[in-house]
Amino acid sequence: MNNQDYTATIQVEKSPQSAFNAIKNFRSWWSEDIEGNTDQLNEVFIYHYKDVHLCKMRLIEIVENKKLVYRVVDNQFSFTKDKSEWINTKLIFNISKEDDET
């Protein structure tokens, strides 16, 4: 499969620090059912939903209040032909201030 990038921009009326802390807390925006630390460098955390999705991610880069990078280290989907298609995918969160928004 060819690499396919996806980019989304979200602007909020919050400080970069507030956005940074919210992103690190996967339980507040992805799922409360996460095992492990989502905010510690090199820690692996696990998300599991029934027999549909199992995902293990590692936080691989932190630039305080500016950037977070997570890498999918293991993944299994029950609904795709390639059950492991997310493995090595990076979730990159770049945080910047623009006027009164982040």
pLDDT-based confidence at residue 70 (cuts at 50, 70, 90): very high
pLDDT, tens only, 71-94: 999 988 878 787 778 889 999 999
pTM given for the model: 0.89
Sheet holding 67-77, edge to edge: 34-35, 44-49, 53-63, 67-77, 90-94
Residues 6+ apart with CB under 8 A from 86: 55, 72, 75, 77
Selected from 3.30.70.3280, 3.40.30.10, 1.10.3720.10, 3.30.530.20, the CATH number assigned to the domain covering 16-94 reads: 3.30.530.20
